[in-house]
Amino acid sequence: MSDQAALLSQIVSLPELEERARQCMSSMAYDYVASGAADEITVNWNREAFNRIALWPRVLTGIDAPDTSVSIFGTIMPTPILLGPTAYHRALHPDGEIATARGASATGVTWIVSSAATTSVEDIAREATAPLWFQLYFQSDREFTREVVERAVAAGCRALCVTVDTPVLGARDRQTRARFALPPGIDTPHLRDTGRLGRHIMDPQRLALSWRDVEWLRSVARVPVVLKGILHPDDAACAVEAGVDGLVVSNHGGRNLDTAPATLDALPEVIERVGGRIPVLLDGGIRRGTDVLKAIALGATAVLIGRPYCYGLCLAGADGVSRCVEILRKELEMALVLTGTPSVRDLGTQVLWDHVAV
């Protein structure tokens, strides 16, 4: 066993993975990944929301091998855990997005490639054997946006995940103080031609989107369109009316509007308004398999993780990414057995202690 494999085998939780990664990361890189907006209240609320919910164990159920698979847009996924879009992987590890693609493929999980990736979607797709989606930031030039979409779809991305909650960046104080910058020679190829991003760190001047832009995107996309950044149930209803194919309940990991609600707290009302018409995913604060179980019990189809696999990438490249997923999936399997649930598709509020109040 290699030294790296031995190190990873000793890491048994995502909080421990973060701590090990922090020890080898520059303070600039760690603050970029870990930080949120302003006083980082929403970052903390995302975690606290999961901690407030108690689970109701069951005994003598005879379950020993629960089914963690889910189906989204006709694709069977081995686990309801996707790698959410995160930027600048080559600033976190020399192999960057190539390592992430290999780590995701080793576990079979779907990865949502960021518009601000530091590797082209074509190069990523050549390494990936697991499904890819593509995260899109609209650009002011619709024709350029169309070209980016066409590139992503041609490369094999099976869905577009449109970030709609960032018309401007939040007050990212800790990131600003850290003076995060891309290493020399590294840029963002999908945004290189906009004249606004390229090597810049997420330019705060963004296009003010409307529902008309979503309708336009649906008219040119040849794959499902998912909106990421929904918290308000009225926005969820508008999304369904606009014909989108899925939603991600997200507060951008607490990185934009501080004191926005925790995503888990926002989830039930969104689920109620959507009424099962399209899949609803959730991100923000997932650190344990029990978190995954709670989100699905409250109606989510699947969850996205971001920071945890970035820590895995920083620590050990592809192997760190896959170890992150393996830990979370194993904990989910344990939680399913201990709550007497044979499949994630059987999850509901019956596994929650205070399910009547929920």
Quick check: 196 pLDDT over 90?
A: no
Q: What is the pLDDT of residue 202?
A: 47
Question: Could you list the active site residues?
Answer: 252
| Whole-angstrom distance, CA of residue 336 vs CA of residue 327 | 14
Contact 214, 227 (CB under 8 A): yes
Q: Which pLDDT belongs to residue 358?
A: 43
Percent of the chain with pLDDT over 70: 94
* pLDDT top residue among 236 and 190: 236
* pTM of the entire predicted model: 0.94
pLDDT given at position 2: 82
Helix extents (H) in the chain: 3-10, 14-24, 27-34, 41-51, 96-107, 121-127, 142-155, 173-178, 211-220, 233-241, 263-274, 289-297, 307-338
pLDDT tens profile 210-260: 999 999 999 999 999 999 999 999 999 999 999 999 999 999 999 999 999
Dihedral (Cα; 174, 36, 290, 264), 10-degree rounding: 160
Q: Tell me which fold the domain 3-351 belongs to.
A: TIM Barrel (3.20.20)
- Domain residue extents for the chain: 3-351
Query: Residue 197 — very low, low, confident or very high, per pLDDT cuts 50/70/90?
Result: very low
Cα gap 66→334, rounded to integer Å: 9
- 258 contacts: CB under 8 Å, gap ≥ 6: 36, 37, 38, 39, 40, 41, 42, 170, 171
Contact 163, 187 (CB under 8 A): no
Mean pLDDT, all residues of the chain:
93
State yes or no: pLDDT of 356 exceeds 50: no
Amino acid identity at 55:
L
Residue 204: its pLDDT value, please? 41
* pLDDT at 7 (0 to 100): 84
How high is the pLDDT of residue 293?
A: 98
Q: Which amino acid is at 138?
A: F
- Greatest CA separation for the chain: 62
Q: Each residue of 120-175: pLDDT tens digit?
A: 999 999 999 999 999 999 887 889 999 999 999 999 999 999 999 998 889 998 99
CB atoms within 10 A of CB 318: 21
Structure tokens at 64: 């020993």
Summarised one tens digit per residue, pLDDT across range 27-77 is 999 999 999 999 999 999 999 999 999 999 999 999 999 999 999 999 999
CA Rg, the chain, in Å?
Answer: 19
Q: Which of 180, 170, 168 is nearest to 205 (CA)?
A: 168
